[in-house]
Structure 1
Amino acid sequence: MNLGRIGTAMITPFKKDGTINYPELERIINHLINNGTDCIVACGTTSENPTMSTEEKIEVVRFTVEKVAGRVPVIAGTGDNETAYSIDMTHKAEENGADGIMLVAPYYNKPNQRGIYAHFETIAKETKLPVMLYNVPGRTGINVAFETSVALSKISNIAWIKEASGNLDQMGDIIENVAQEDDFLVYSGDDGLTLPLLAIGGAGVISVASHVVGNDMQLMMRAFEQGEHKLAAKIHRALLPLVRALFAQPNPSPVKYAMTKLGFDTLDVRLPMMEMTNEEKAAFDAIWDTYQTKMEAIRENQPV
């Protein structure tokens, strides 16, 4: 299955009372598909997955599959630090029509590499769906070593990894050592490393920034693929301050605020996340405005 260049780790919109705003979620789904998203990841980190009940997670995946209606693949985040629970959620995602699943490394428990391997292997063997591994040591407290990722790539339905270690050397080692490069693809879990990862053979990015700049990111990636490396680098440099701003406060508060600038009702977050302060919003606004100016000039002067 082809996930394309950009998968968006989709936010979950909430109403003031804390319940999920499904009409707004449908608007977000359509916006993403129309603005550079090649696949949607539902119930990942950016969805505020840890604050959602089991029933909510199941329903968000079902709803997303229904509203996407086959236009792009839907990957369901079913990973947990309890292997048995991950299996249960994977079965639910399969029943509700997800095209694949994403499994975060088992957080908090801090297993060794044998335990990490066994966790992923056990879940993968319980489903026919293709599997995306998700390595994000800044959140889980453990790093999936490249040797473990390479070993897991030999399992037939483990097809991708979202690498959010920030370690390009590790990503390069994975790409270099998988048996068939096309059979196991490496996606960046950090927006700011999208272009550097492409340069060493990566497939793309599982993105947060694509909520608001998906088309610009596609422009950058097309430029790179067409050999317009100076243009790709220029867009990359324009994107970097905005990417940093989107993570200057805990994710997803900044991207939820950014989406309000496009007319979406997405400001509300669930505790322990907090809405950005007025000062933080003003700082973001300044970077947003500068970005718009830079990208307007790039689009006008160097179309792809």
Structure 2
Amino acid sequence: MTTKKFVPVMLTPFQDGNAIDYNILEGLIEFYLEAGAGGLFANCLSSEMYHLSQEEMLASVSFIVQKVNGRVPVVATGTFPDTLENQAAFVKEMYRTGVDSVIVITSLLAEEKDSEDVFEARVNQLLALTDDIPLGFYECPVPYKRILSSDFLGELVRTGRINYHKDTSLNINSVRAKVAASKDAEDFALYDAYMVHAVDSMKADSAGLSCIQGNYFPELIVWLCNHYNDDSIEVDKVQQFFAQNMSVMHDTYPPVPNIYSKNEDWVSLKFAAMAVK
């Protein structure tokens, strides 16, 4: 049975006044690793990435990489609203923190009205502007959701530059098609965000799970990654638990907004996007 991994989407703890609380962040890193996380996704939507300065992003990711100290891979977002050239420049800065892959937000490379041809051309431009830096993709729902086609993902993976993808299609057939399109790549991993079909996704040969539910029950998700292929009532019960409680977990995420969120409007924005995370 292929080993599956849980990659949590990291929260960012803040002090009063909105400075990052690095003492709590260090404890959070250990919390994820002690639960059995096989990697960390830093500077993501759950990390309040759109409300961090570039200096805060780089400092917090550098801190995470240092504290992890090679125990698991670390990936972090490196593209934000800006020109393609400036996005590429920040990708390079983020890579210098020591992350294993810099994550590209699919909805920031083209506007929602733009065609797939425009989007694909801009992806290829970004690859050309970022030398040989390993990249990944995240179908982030903010500012809007742009889903990669399986054919295009397969093309990207074959360049040897793409080693990570966080899927938010919410569609098991889309996951299966993407896995099939990238099946010959040794260093590529697709992680699914949608816990409703978590077991089916791993049986379809996704690399594992990267979901907000991991900030509630990381040990349970690690257990599911280890036992997804067991023919047991326990696996069925865990899968059913996550499916039945999907809306509850999204409605209360992040669990303590006044501690973890830097901006109350951003919390509202996340809640509005909760159905498509």
Q: Same fold (TM over 0.5)?
A: yes
Partner of 2:256: 257
CA–CA distance in structure 2, aligned partners of residues 238 and 179 of structure 1: 30
Greater relative contact order (Cα < 8 A, sep 6+): 2
Output the amino acid matched with 1:166.
Answer: L
TM-score (norm 2): 0.84
Match among 173, 193, 202 for residue 198 of structure 1: 202
State whether residues 128 and 157 of structure 1, in contact with CA within 8 Å, keep that contact through their aligned partners in structure 2.
Answer: yes
Q: Percent identity?
A: 17
Task: Specify which of 203, 212, 227 is matched with residue 216 of structure 2.
Answer: 212
Q: Secondary structure at the match of 1:29?
A: helix
Contact 1:79/1:106 (8 A) holds in 2:
no
**Contact 1:189/1:206 (8 A) holds in 2:** yes
Determine if the alignment matches structure 1 residue 37 to structure 2 residue 30.
no
Residue 172 of structure 2, aligned match among 151, 168, 175: 168
Q: Say which one has the larger Rg.
A: 1
Instruction: Specify the alignment match of 1:77 in structure 2.
Output: 77
1:159 has 2:159 as partner: no
* Residue number in structure 2 paired with 1:247: 250
Cα distance in 2 for partners of 1:138, 1:99 equals: 24
Aligned-residue offset at 1:133: 1.2
TM-score normalized by the length of structure 1: 0.77
Residues 108-157 of structure 1 deviation map (CA, whole Å, 9 limit, x = unaligned) = 72232223223333333414343221124575243322222222121112
- Name the aligned partner's letter for residue 121 of structure 2: A
Does the Cα contact within 8 Å between 1:13 and 1:20 map onto a contact in 2? Answer: yes
Long gaps (5+) in structure 1: 259-264, 276-304
Report if the CA contact (8 A) 2:7-2:40 is conserved: yes
Q: List gaps (5 residues or longer) in structure 2.
A: 269-277
Query: Would the aligned equivalents of 1:137 and 1:165 in 2 still touch at CA under 8 Å?
Result: no
Structure 1 residue 85, shift from structure 2 partner: 2.8
- Structure 2 partner of 1:95: 96
Distance (whole Å) between structure 1 residues aligned to residue 131 and residue 101 of structure 2: 10
Q: Hey, what does 2:54 align to over in structure 1?
A: 54
Aligned partners of 2:4 and 2:93: how far apart in 1? 25
- Cα distance change of structure 1 residues 190 and 79 upon mapping to structure 2, 3 Å threshold: farther
Alignment of 1:1-304 (within 5 A): 5-82=5-82, 83-107=84-108, 109-110=111-112, 111-125=114-128, 126-136=130-140, 139-178=143-182, 180=184, 182-225=186-229, 227-248=230-251, 254-257=253-256, 266-274=259-267
1:77 is displaced (CA, Å) by 0.8
Quote the Cα distance in structure 2 between the aligned partners of 1:255 and 1:241.
Answer: 19
CA distance in structure 1 between the partners assigned to 2:76 and 2:67 by the alignment: 14
User: How many aligned residue pairs are there?
Assistant: 263
Kindly indicate whether the alpha-carbon contact (under 8 Å) linking 1:81 and 1:109 is maintained by their aligned counterparts in 2.
Answer: no
Whole-angstrom distance in 2 between the partners of 1:151 and 1:192: 28
1:278 counterpart residue number: none
SS at match of 1:187: strand
CA, structure 1 residues 42+220, in 2 after alignment: closer, same or farther (shift >3 Å)?
same
> 1:36, 1:210 within 8 Å by CA — same for their partners in 2?
no
Partners of 1:212 and 1:129 in 2: how far apart? 33
